[in-house]
Structure 1
C-alpha cells in the first residue's frame, strides 16, 4: 500500500518519484501492471489529473508503457533517457528552467544553421505559418506554448536530419512545462513579449535569406535572451511558477 502524498513540492513530481521508487526497488518489476488510476487516487490521496501527469513522466522516462484498454505496465530495465523535468533532483524550478534553456541553445542554433542551407520553399512556408500561429494563439488568449514548440520543430524538420528532428521533438516534450514558465514570464511585460516576437522573426528571416551563420546566431541569441529574461523575474513570479502544472500527454 502506498502512502498518501502531500507537501509543498509539485504533487505530480512526488507521485512520479513514489512510483519510480517502486519500480527501481523491484517492488514493481518488468511486466507488472501499475494499480489502476482509481486505485492510485485512493492510495495517494491526489487527483486523477496528478496521477495522469505522473504516469506521463514515467512514460517519458522509459519506465512504463500504457497499453490501450489494458492499463500501464512496467517496461524492462534499460538505460533511462533524459527527463529534463525531473532529472535535476532537488534543483529548484528556476535552476531547472535555466538548465533547459542551456540545453536547447546549441541544439536550436544548429537546427537553424542547417535549415538556412536545406529548407525548401514548402519548409519556409510551414515555418512562416507556425510563426503566425503563435501570434494568433496569444491574440485568442492562449499561452502560445504549443505554437512556440511547433515553430522550433518546423525549423528542425526542414534540416532533413531525422535525429535532429527526434531530439528537438523530445526536448520539447520533456521540457514542455519549462517552456510554459518561460512564456509566462515573457507575457508579464509588453517589452518582453515584443522582444520574443522580434527574435523569432529574426531567426526566420536569416533562414529565408539563406544565411546559416546569422540563423545560428539569431537562434542562440533568442535562447540567451530567454535566460536573461528569466533571471530578471522576481521571487513572486517563481513562487507562482511552481503551480504552473502541465499534462505532458498534451505536449506536441
Structure 2
C-alpha cells in the first residue's frame, strides 16, 4: 500500500481555501466585497491574525484589493481567471516550491550574469528604486513579496533578452506565490529579513560594478538560501 504524504497547512492557507471554494461555487464574484476581518474570523472560527495573513497573500497575488477604511474586494477579473489563479496558489506546496526555485535559479542566475554585462544607467536606477522599495517594506516588517518580485524583474529587464522576460512572466503567478511563502517564512525568523535584504544589495552592487560572474554567483546563492528553508 502506498500512502500519500499529508502536507501541513497553516491556518491562513485554510482561510484562502475557503475563499477559493466560495469563488468556485459562485458565492463570490469579481468586484464583490468580502465580509470584514472580524466577521470572517468569527465565521471561520480562526484568529483575526490568520485572516490578515490570508488577505496579505491574496493581495500580493492581486486576487483581492484592500481599501483601508472601505473594505476588501475581489479584484475585477473574470471569475474563471480568479479560480485558475487561486487554484495555482492552493497547489503550491513545499515540493512545488523547491521545483520552482530550481527553475528560478537556472533562469535568474543567468539573468544576473547578462544584466551585469548589458545594464544601462536607467537599469541601475530601476534596480536601486526596486531595492529601496524592498528595504522600506522590510523596515515596516511587511512580507514585501511584490517588492521582492519587482527587484528580480528589474534584473531580468536589464538583460534585454525578451525570451528571458517571457519565461519569467509565464511563471509570474507561481513566482509571486512562491515569493510570498518564502518571505512569510523569512519574516518569522529574527534577523532573517535583514540577511535577505543584504543578499539583494550585493546582487545590485555586482550588477552595478559589471561583475558578471559575481552577479551570477550571488543570485544562485540567494535563491539557494531561499530553497534551503523548504528542505
Rounded to whole Å, the distance in 1 between the matches of 2:115 and 2:228 is 26
Alignment size in residue pairs: 179
Gaps spanning 5+ residues in structure 2: where?
1-13, 31-72
- The verdict on how the C-alpha distance between 1:145 and 1:35 changes in structure 2, with shifts beyond 3 A counting, is closer
Q: Find the residue that maps to 1:10 and give its secondary structure.
A: helix
Q: Deviations over 1:104-124 (max 9, x none)?
A: 111111110110100001111
Gaps spanning 5+ residues in structure 1: where?
1-7, 20-33, 39-47, 62-82, 232-252
- The verdict on how the C-alpha distance between 1:35 and 1:218 changes in structure 2, with shifts beyond 3 A counting, is same
Rounded to whole Å, the distance in 2 between the matches of 1:113 and 1:94 is 28
Rounded to whole Å, the distance in 1 between the matches of 2:125 and 2:76 is 39
Contact 1:84 1:175 in 2 (8 A): no
Give TM-score, length-normalised by structure 1: 0.59
- Partner of residue 37, structure 1: 29
Q: Deviations over 1:34-59 (max 9, x none)?
A: 99939xxxxxxxxx849979733556
Give TM-score, length-normalised by structure 2: 0.64
Is residue 161 of structure 1 aligned with residue 153 of structure 2?
no
**Cα drift, residue 97 of structure 1:** 2.0
Indicate the RMSD between aligned Cα atoms, in angstroms: 3.5
- Partner of residue 71, structure 1: none
- Partner of residue 43, structure 2: none
Q: Find the residue that maps to 1:159 and give its secondary structure.
A: coil
- Which deviates further from its counterpart, 217-226 or 171-180? 171-180
- The verdict on how the C-alpha distance between 1:84 and 1:102 changes in structure 2, with shifts beyond 3 A counting, is farther
- Partner of residue 150, structure 2: 150
**Cα drift, residue 14 of structure 1:** 5.5
- Partner of residue 56, structure 1: 81
1:63-142 paired onto structure 2 within 5 Å: 85=89, 93-142=93-142
- The verdict on how the C-alpha distance between 1:36 and 1:218 changes in structure 2, with shifts beyond 3 A counting, is closer
More helix per residue: 1 or 2?
2
Contact 2:29 2:74 in 1 (8 A): no
Rounded to whole Å, the distance in 1 between the matches of 2:163 and 2:75 is 32
Is residue 171 of structure 1 aligned with residue 196 of structure 2?
no
- Which deviates further from its counterpart, 98-107 or 163-172? 163-172
Rounded to whole Å, the distance in 2 between the matches of 1:225 and 1:110 is 17
Bigger radius of gyration among the two:
1
- The verdict on how the C-alpha distance between 1:12 and 1:169 changes in structure 2, with shifts beyond 3 A counting, is farther
Contact 1:105 1:224 in 2 (8 A): yes
Q: Find the residue that maps to 1:102 and give its secondary structure.
A: helix
Q: Find the residue that maps to 2:171 and give its secondary structure.
A: helix
Rounded to whole Å, the distance in 1 between the matches of 2:216 and 2:79 is 35
- The verdict on how the C-alpha distance between 1:50 and 1:130 changes in structure 2, with shifts beyond 3 A counting, is closer
- Partner of residue 70, structure 1: none
